[in-house]
A = this chain, B = another copy of it.
Amino acid sequence: MSQVSRTELTPLSFLTRSEAVWGEQVAVSEGDRLWTYKEHAARVRRLAGALRGELDVGPGDRVALLLPNYAAALELHYAVPWVGAILVPMNTRLGPAEYGYMLEHSGAKVVFCAAELASRLPADAGGPLRVVTVDGSRECEYEQLVAGGEEREPVGLVDEATPISINYTSGTTGAPKGVLATHRGSYLQALAMLSEADLRGGSSYLWTLPMFHCNGWTFTWAVTAAGAAHVCLAKVDADEIWRTLESEAVPVSHLCGAPTVVQMIVEAAAGRRCEQEVRMLVGGAPPSPSLLERAAGLNVRLTHAYGLTETHGPVAICAWKPGWDDRPASERARLEARQGVNNVVSDGLRVIDGDLRDVPADGETMGEVVVRGNTVMQGYYRDEAATEQAFRGGWFHSGDLAVMHEDGYLELRDRLKDIVVTGGENVASIEVEQALMAHPAVSEVAVIGTPDVKWGELVTACVVLRPGRLANPQDLELFARRHLAGFKLPRRIEVLDSLPKTGTGKVQKFVLRERLSGGGAGG
């Protein structure tokens, strides 16, 4: 096809357009600094010049990021692919071993590292790897690079299926896997986010969600596509968030994050309320009914989203239906706490049984969530076996268990590997966890299966109590009986001081299983 009517899809085109269309509008703010789209694009071009020149980064090279949500991280989301190279954004909460693995596995040539995190790089990270430090000041090594770079135009993209980013998952088991995101997939997902989140010129997006979580669910590019402002925030802090929500210049209109961020906003409200409606995509866990209601009271409208690094972030959106407004608050909250339906560019989202058949849409039968379409990763970097395994049967297997409701909305139940099979029955650990969480003395729960001669597995609850509160296993089991069918009751309850967790705060159930697998007594 002629080059007149065929251009390769890339999210970089959004910056080129927004520079032309929204040139004088605010593109990025960080602390007391502010850049218009013209200034922002000029910085990206100079940074690209420095990457190509001083750092000798070219097409196909990998460039790692170990950065909080600095403006620098956003700029690198453009400058790195600008020269044809591939981003490797790393989670800031990990340690030397994980960083060493990612840098080695990706073969990164350069790492842009926050000064405060430099000590966490592996000791042997020098050598061929170039480290550029960023500290948010105007004199840091990064700023000097930008200042010294010659403005550079983007390299022509030959194929939109080219990788733009390798996003390492921090799985709860095994080595991190490198998820390949392409220019095409990122472009389409960004357009979906633009429309699902209702971003537009004049919007202002607050960076609470880390950009290292699959490129900030592609909002690194979607916000720019809308010509909206990126408000960078290095640290998620309730006072800082409220300051941006109440900013007189450009009050924040959009953000994304986990329910814990909503919780933080709600708890720090202190009688404040947003003047204009704020839209927030919430993912990672379902927002509770009370959270949905309290957020609405602050004029913050939550939309529940669900996705994985392998799907560029939100593949499912709990799309609001006309008519829900008329339902009782509790029913509405229950509807809105579901993970929902596939987004507008996703090709399919199903809940299937072991034979790749859809489970009945009865809200009860569990199956695995599988996904297909242009926003699914290209594969795991340098891991064909894992890619084949994840793509078996022509669908990406999420490893998440869900039910499908009658109205076509899915609702997560558990991780596939976290299901407990006891006496031939499947028990969703999440359901048991939710029942125990309702107990006033309980702070945290993780439910696992432990080996048992009679039952196969025993439903086992590991509980952490709130400081100063007491409860014994019998109390807890009695409490759980109010909410759970008999076969789902935790037959074994262990009260622990804390739960083992990954750098991102996910409970490492495999550690609990190992620790407790010797001591299962018959029920």
Beyond the given pairs A17-B341, A17-B346, 8 more chain A to chain B contacts, judged by CB atoms under 8 angstroms and listed by A's residue number, are A2-B378, A2-B387, A4-B372, A5-B375, A7-B372, A21-B408, A25-B322, A198-B200
- Could you tell me if A20 and B408 are in contact, using CB atoms closer than 8 angstroms? yes
B378 and A5 within 8 A (CB): yes
* Max count, chain B CB within 10 A of own CB: residue among A14, A20, A161: A20
Against B, the Cβ 8 Å flags (1 = close, 0 = not) of A195-239 are 100101110000000000000000000000111000000000000
Is A17 touching B344 in the complex (CB atoms < 8 A)?
Answer: yes
**Number of residues from A at the complex interface, CB < 8 A:** 54
Q: How far is the CB of A384 from chain B (nearest CB, A)?
A: 11
Interface flags, A1-17, vs B, CB<8A=1, else 0: 11111110100011001
A23 to B379, CA, bound (A): 33
Asked if A87 is at the interface (CB within 8 A of a chain B CB), the reply is no
Q: Indicate which residue in B13, B20, B391 contacts A4 across the interface (CB closer than 8 Å).
A: B391
CB-contacts of A143-192 with B (<8 A): 161, 182, 185, 191
Asked if B201 contacts A320 (CB within 8 A), the reply is: yes
Closest Cβ neighbor of A374 among chain B residues: B7
Taken together as a complex, chains A and B put the C-alpha atoms of A376 and B391 apart, in Å, by 35
Q: Tell me whether A194 is interfacial, beta carbon within 8 Å.
A: yes
Min CB distance A348 to B, Å, is 8
CB distance from A313 to the nearest CB of B (A): 15
Contact B4 A376 (CB under 8 A): yes
Write out the residue numbers on chain B whose beta carbons fall within 8 Å of the beta carbon of A198: 198, 200
| Contact yes or no, B374 A319, CB < 8 A | no
- Evaluate contact between A377 and B201: CB separation under 8 angstroms: no
Known: A17-B342, A408-B20. A347 touches B379 (CB 8 A): no
15 pairs of residues in contact across A and B, judged by CB atoms under 8 Å: A2-B379, A3-B372, A4-B394, A5-B182, A5-B372, A6-B161, A7-B372, A14-B344, A17-B342, A17-B346, A20-B342, A21-B342, A25-B321, A198-B198, A202-B322
Cβ of A253 to closest chain B Cβ, rounded Å: 11
Contact A1 B319 (CB under 8 A): no
Chain B nearest Cβ from A308, distance in angstroms: 13
Partner of A13, one of B191, B347, B375: B347
Bound Cα distance from A167 to B344, whole angstroms: 26
A139 interface hit (Cβ, 8 Å):
no
Residues of A bordering B, CB below 8 Å:
1-7, 9, 13-14, 17, 20-21, 23-25, 161, 182, 185, 191, 194-195, 198, 200-202, 225-227, 319-322, 341-342, 344-347, 372-379, 387, 391, 394-396, 407-408
The reply to whether B391 and A344 contact each other, CB–CB distance below 8 Å, is: no
Contact of A21 among B1, B14, B341, B377 (CB under 8 A): B341
Q: Which residue of B lies closest to A372 (CB)?
A: B4
- Of chain B, the residue at the smallest CB distance from A9 is B374
Closest-CB distance, A39 to chain B (whole angstroms): 15
Q: Contact between A5 and B376 (Cβ–Cβ < 8 Å)?
A: yes
Residues of B within 8 A of A182 (CB): 5
Contacts A21-B319, A319-B201 given; does A5 touch B225 at CB 8 Å = no
Q: Chain B residues near A347 (CB, 8 Å)? A: 7, 13
Shortest CB–CB separation between residue A221 and chain B, in angstroms?
A: 11
Q: Do A407 and B24 form a contact, CB below 8 Å, given A2-B378, A195-B194, A374-B5?
A: yes
CB distance from A468 to the nearest CB of B (A): 47
Contact of A161 among B1, B344, B345, B395 (CB under 8 A): B1
